[in-house]
Structure 1
Amino acid sequence: MYQHQKTKKIKIMANKNELISEAGSREIITRRIINAPRELVFDVWTKPEHIVNWWGPDGFSNTIHEMEVKPGGTWRFMMHGPNGMDFPNKIVYKEVVRPVRLVYVHTDDTEEERHLFHVIVTFEEEEGKTILAMYMQFRTVEERDRVIKEYGALEGNRQTMDKLETYLDKIKQAPKEFVIVREFNAPRELVFKAWTEAEHLSKWWGPKIFDNAIKTFDLRPGGIFHYSMKTPDGSIMWGRFTYKEIIAPEKLVFTTSFSDEEGNIRPTTMLPVFPLEILNIVTFEEKNNKTILTLKGQPVNASEEECKVYYSMFDSMNAGFSGTLDMLDEHLETIQETVN
C-alpha cells in the first residue's frame, strides 16, 4: 500500500495554503487550513450531495454515476470541462476512517488506466478548524511531471481547495429557511385556486420534465395531497402534502414529504440523507390585480446532517421551484385566455 514520505507534523503554517512538488519526487502534496470542523469537512468530501458541488478546478462540473465510500467501494463520475470535454474518473477506496483519513486509488476509468495514482487524504482537528492534507503519488516521476505540465495539476488542486472552502462557507452561512418570491399577472383568487384544486395542480405541480398523477386530494387541515411523478426514464416517485392551515385566498401551510405508493412518508433513494418533512408557508398578496406569491420552507424534526444537506441545496431548489412556477404562470395564462 502507498505510504507518503514522512514529513514533520505541521501545527502552524505560515500560510494557510501549501503545495509541495519537489524535484525528483513522485508526489504532489496539498495542505490547507480550513475554517470548518473536521466532521463537516469529512462529510463534504465523502457524500455525493456535497462533493458534486465543489469537486474539480474552476469551470468544471460533475455527474456522479455511483459513490460508495467504504473499503472496496467505488466512486465513478464524469467531470465536464469548461471546453465541453468530458473526463471519466474512477476512485476505489482502500481505507476509510471517519473523520480522520481516506486512502484510495484514482484512475481515468478506462481499461488502460493511463492516469493511475494513489491518494491519502488526512483530516486533523485544530482548534475548531481542519488541517487537510492530500498526498498524491504517481507511478513515476515522469508521469507526475507530465500531469503537472499538461493538466496544470498544481493550479487545479489550488482551485479545487478554493471551491471546497467556498462551499463550506456557504453551508455554514446558509439561512434557516428557503424563500422564493414570484409575481403573477393574475388575480389572487385565481392563483389560490390553482394551488387548491386538483384539476389545476395536476397541470403544473412538479419539475418541468416530470409527468404527475394525483392519487388523493383532500384539501382540509389534516388532509393530504398524494401524487406520483414519472421521470423521463420511466421511474415513478411518490410525494405528499399534509395540510396544516388553509386561509383562502391568503395563505396555505403544509408539509411536503417523499412517500411510497400507499402514502406513507419514506426517504427517497435519490436523497438518502434529507429531512423527511419540510414545512411550507405560501402567502398570496394582491397588488394592482396581480399576485405576489411567497413560498418559505424549512425542515421539521430533522437531524443536523439532514439540515446541512437541505441548506446546501438552496441553489438547486431555487432552480427547481422556478421551473415549477414557470409552469404555473403558463397555466394561469391559459385559464385567463380561455375565460376571455
Structure 2
Amino acid sequence: MALTTDAVSETISALVIEREFDAPRELVFKLWSEPQHRAMWWGPEGHGLDDFSMDFREGGAWSVTIQNPDGSTAQMYGVFNEIIAPSRLCFTYHFDEVGIHSTVEIDFVVRDAHTVMHFRQSPFPSEAEKASHNWGWSSSFIQFTAYLQHMLLSPPGTKWTRELTGVAADVEAARERARQETRKSGSASRELRIERIFAAPRELVFRMWSDPTHALRWMGPRHAPAVSFKQDFRVGGKWRGCLRGIPESNGGDAELWQGGVYREIQVPERIVFTFQWDGGAETLCTVELFEHGAGTRMVFTQGPFDIDSNRDGHTEGWNSAFDRLVDLIVEPIIQAQFGRAAGRRISGLEADIRAAKHRQDESQSAEDGRTAGKER
C-alpha cells in the first residue's frame, strides 16, 4: 500500500538550525520583526527579492517573492500564529510550487552576552525539499549575520549592500547537487553540508584548522567544548580530541573522545579527514575554503551517516562549533598575532604553509619509497 503525503511527511524529521549571535536579543528579534530590516537579509545567496510584505501581528500575513538565478520567481507566504517579543516567533510557511505547507518556530535565548536562535521547520514532503530548505535558510542566515554586524559596527547612515559572490549559477548548481544527493537511496543521501562565511583571509581560517593550539579553542559545540586536541597535521597523520559536556548541559560533564586520519591536505584550500567517535562508525569530512571578497567562504561536508538523526545531531554540533570559530577569528589578539592588513598576506603564515607542504612532500616521498620497495 502506498504511503499518503501526510504519512510520508511524518517520517521526515524537522529541519533544525541553531545560530549564535554576538548581539542583544532585542536587536536580533528586531531584524525578524521589522519589514525594512527583514527585507535586507531574506533569501539565499544568488537570489533576488522581487517583493516582500509583512503585517507583523498575530493573525497578520506575510508574503515574499524570490527571483531565482535563472530568472524565474517563487512565492512563499503564511500567517503569524504566535509572537512573544523578544523571545519567540511562530508562523506558517507555504510554498505551493513544491507542496510545502509547514510551520516555522523560532526561539531566541540569551546566553551570556550572546543571543542563541533556535530555528525549527516541519513538515516537509520529501528529504530533498528539507535539504533544499536547509541550504536556503542557512544561506539566508549568513546574510542575516552580515547585516547584523553592519547594524552593530557601521557608522550611522552607511548603506547596506548584500554580500553576493556574483556566482549565482554556481550557487544554483550546488543546490541542485544537494537535491540529487538526497534522492539517492541508502546512506548516500545522509551527508551533512554546512556553508559559512568568515570575515578573515583564507590563510587565517586554514590555520584555525591546522594549528592544534587554535583548534582546541573552537572545536566542539558550546555545551561540550574540546578539553584536549592533538594532531599530526600531514597526510596519513592522526588527530584526536576530547569533548566534555558542561555540568548544566544534557549528559553533564561526560567525556566524549573522537579522532581520525588526514587523507588529503591542500594548503590553504582543502582538508579531508576521517571522523570517528570511540566505538562509533567512521565518516569522512571535507573542508573547502574559497576566497570571498576580503573574507573566506567555507564549505564543510561529512558523511555518510547511518541514520538521519546522527546526521542532524552532527549538523547542530558543527554549527555551534563554527559559531565559536567566528568568535575566535575576530578576537583582537588573533588579529594582532596574524598581522592582518588589507592587500597583504598574514604575517608569519608563509613559514607555516611551507612547513605543511614540506611535511606533505615527505609523506608522499615515503609512500613512493614503500611502493617501489614492494615492486622490487
Shorter-chain TM-score tier: 0.3 to 0.5
Rg larger in structure:
1
When normalised by structure 2's length, the TM-score is: 0.39
Provide the TM-score with structure 1 as the length reference.
0.43
